[in-house]
Amino acid sequence: MNLELIMSDLEKRNPGQPEFLQAVKEVLETIIDVVSENPKYDAANIIERIVEPDRVITFKVQWIDDKGRVHVNRGYRVQFNNAIGPYKGGIRFHPSVTLGGLKFLGFEQTFKNSLTTLPMGGAKGGSDFDPKGKSNAEIMRFCQAFMAELYKYIGPDKDIPAGDIGVGGREVGYMFGMYKKLVGDHNGVFTGKGRNWGGSLIRPEATGFGNVFFAEEMLKTRGESMKGKIVAVSGFGNVSWGSIIKANQLGARVVTISGPDGYVYDPDGISGDKVDYLLELRASNQDIVKPYTFEYPSAQFFEGKRPWEVKCDVALPCAIQNELNLQDAQNLVNNGVMCVSEGANMPCTPEAMELFLEHKVLYGPGKASNAGGVATSGLEQTQNAQKLNWAAEEVEAKLHSIMCNIHEACVKYGREEDGYVNYVKGANVAGFIKVADAMIDQGVI
Ligand code: NDP
């Protein structure tokens, strides 16, 4: 496998898609040995096939705001790979959404879903629609217009979307409602549904819970645990919230949250009522980071800065891609960080990741550490198919067991000669083998 040749060919075929190229390069660099040692992959031209999405769907979304003005956004669904199961992956509504960004996320999702051990292929979708500042009625009209096109391409055995940035329970509800009206079936086509109409308990918290379970497993390899650790978290969305709750439950002290405008440092810890207060602000569609410091004067707001300058034992980047760069990584290493576990997808730049690996930091890449969200979506699908609702304890126990299994798979394929576990390599190799072997089994189709 000639990596340089493959990458230069990919650059030509995917111009202006740096995040996609970054994600592919990271995976190929770590699976190169497996491919060289197993001629079957080369014989089936697996690399060229696995980096090309099965299908890219783009469509126009027209909707009317509360003042009667007509708007146009662009909708996408990237169905990346369904070798091991129906397509599965979230929908993102954010002005930064582009085709290249969604291809990166769909590619990552393919390997992540493979790691969960559940039968799910990889996909991602979304729109450049900005939900911020929109009324409830505007959000509903947009979601309905989006689904008026997307419904043609999804189904419970075909492609099962879920939430992501800008898409929570409310948006899933509006999209599901429109799907149901158009198709006439009440089926498990979406995950992240409301709890009284097919949603799974624990799904909203699952990504964050899984992220902390994964961090705990990494810490255990060094005889450590979350108990007593100082934790820096970025963002305060779905994933950050779940991570904060579980980190507190395991006895850690979370000292930061952040937004695009800066971060809050609260040395007393962010837990209990403080988390409830943040949730209230978020639900009322307000800025959350600055107002927190008005309510809790012990906290400080650092405008335009990121939380990675704070001294911490564990860092949980949970906001957005490339939010932790080389300088941030250097700050964390200088401050003695022990473990970095990614709640977001690809929040660390390649240079930051290299530095963590060089310094033998316990570093969990998102496709392993944040796989708990999609795994619990898989559990939601199972409950829908069985027409059953499992208790929260049962779902959490299954989630915990899946995260431990993912950790084990990473250790199996990522342990180096000196005993250090390279979780990036471990996750990529474990995810790749299953998908590639399934593609070979199913022939050239
Ligand atoms: P949310 O929209 O719920 O939260 C995103 C958070 O990040 C918000 O607090 C947002 O602040 C903040 N944010 C956005 N841009 C920046 C920035 N540039 N700097 C700092 N903070 C920023 O999204 P999720 O929590 O669902 O997703 C977060 C990440 O986790 C994404 O990478 C997503 O792909 C990944 N992920 C999510 C899963 C899920 O189950 N939801 C599953 C697996 C991965 P504000 O609201 O003020 O813009």
The verdict on residue 121 lying in a domain is: yes
Final residue in a domain of this structure, among 313, 345, 360: 360
What atom in ligand 1 is closest to the CA of residue 192? 40
> One digit per residue, pLDDT tens: the chain, 445 residues?
789 999 999 999 999 999 999 999 999 999 999 999 999 999 999 999 999 999 999 999 999 999 999 999 999 999 999 999 999 999 999 999 999 999 999 999 999 999 999 999 999 999 999 999 999 999 999 999 999 999 999 999 999 999 999 999 999 999 999 999 999 999 999 999 999 999 999 999 999 999 999 999 999 999 999 999 999 999 999 999 999 999 999 999 999 999 999 999 999 999 999 999 999 988 886 777 888 999 999 999 999 999 999 999 999 999 999 999 999 999 999 999 999 999 999 999 999 999 999 999 999 999 999 999 999 999 999 999 999 999 999 999 999 999 999 999 999 999 999 999 999 999 999 999 999 999 999 999 9
Q: Note whether 251 and 228 are within 8 A (CB).
A: yes
- Are 135 and 214 in a shared domain? no
How far is Cα 315 from Cα 290, in angstroms, rounded to an integer? 21
| pTM metric for this prediction | 0.95
- Does ligand 1 come within 6 angstroms of the Cβ of 236? yes
Q: Which of 124, 207, 245 to mutate to test the pocket of ligand 1 (most atoms within 8 A of CB)?
A: 207
pLDDT at 1: 79
DSSP secondary structure string for all residues of 301-367: EEET--GGGS--SEEE--S-TT-B-HHHHHHHHHTT--EEE-SSSS-B-HHHHHHHHHTT-EEE-HH
- Summarised one tens digit per residue, pLDDT across range 18-43 is 999 999 999 999 999 999 999 999 99
pLDDT at 282: 86
Backbone conformation region of residue 15, classed left if phi is above 0, alpha if psi is from -120 to 50, else beta: beta
Distance 181 CA to ligand 1 centre (A): 30
Which of 423, 366, 333, 305 is CA-nearest to residue 19?
366
Q: Going by C-beta distance under 8 Å and a sequence separation of 6 or more, which residues neighbour residue 358?
A: none
Burial of 174 (0-12, 13-18, 19+ CB in 10 A): buried
Question: Structural domain of residue 280, as residue ranges?
Answer: 206-360
The count of other CB atoms within 10 Å of the CB of residue 401 is 13
pLDDT at 290: 83
The verdict on residue 12 lying in a domain is: yes
Q: Going by C-beta distance under 8 Å and a sequence separation of 6 or more, which residues neighbour residue 285?
A: 132, 133
Which of 277, 242, 221 is CA-nearest to residue 163?
242
Domain count, the chain: 2
> Which residue CA neighbors atom 4 of ligand 1 most closely?
237
Q: Which of 120, 238, 264, 290 to mutate to test the pocket of ligand 1 (most atoms within 8 A of CB)?
A: 238
The verdict on residue 387 lying in a domain is: no
The enclosing domain of 324 has a CATH number of 3.40.50.720
Final residue in a domain of this structure, among 341, 360, 379: 360
The verdict on residue 166 lying in a domain is: yes
The verdict on residue 409 lying in a domain is: no
Final residue in a domain of this structure, among 333, 360, 387: 360
Q: What is the mean pLDDT of the chain?
A: 96
How far is Cα 238 from Cα 244, in angstroms, rounded to an integer? 10
- Are 102 and 140 in a shared domain? yes
- Are 163 and 18 in a shared domain? yes
- Does ligand 1 come within 6 angstroms of the Cβ of 172? no
The count of other CB atoms within 10 Å of the CB of residue 388 is 8
The verdict on residue 439 lying in a domain is: no
pLDDT at 136: 96
pLDDT at 288: 76
- Does ligand 1 come within 6 angstroms of the Cβ of 17? no
- Are 245 and 154 in a shared domain? no
Q: Report in angstroms the alpha-carbon separations of 23 from 55, 74, 100, 287.
A: 18, 23, 11, 31
Distance 4 CA to ligand 1 centre (A): 33
The residues carrying an active-site annotation are 124
- Does ligand 1 come within 6 angstroms of the Cβ of 370? yes
How far is Cα 379 from Cα 216, in angstroms, rounded to an integer? 22
Which of 436, 322, 346, 401 is CA-nearest to residue 50?
436
How far is Cα 246 from Cα 206, in angstroms, rounded to an integer? 10
Residues in the chain, overall count: 445
What atom in ligand 1 is closest to the CA of residue 287? 47
The enclosing domain of 168 has a CATH number of 3.40.50.10860
pLDDT at 388: 94
The single residue listed with the structure tokens 């837990």 is 271
> Which residue CA neighbors atom 21 of ligand 1 most closely?
259
Distance 234 CA to ligand 1 centre (A): 9
- Are 10 and 111 in a shared domain? yes
- Does ligand 1 come within 6 angstroms of the Cβ of 343? yes
The single residue listed with the structure tokens 């969604």 is 102
Q: Which element (helix H / strand E) includes 421?
A: none
Longest pairwise C-alpha distance within the chain: 65
- Summarised one tens digit per residue, pLDDT across range 97-130 is 999 999 999 999 999 999 999 999 999 999 999 9
CA–CA–CA angle 123, 51, 376 (5° rounding)? 30
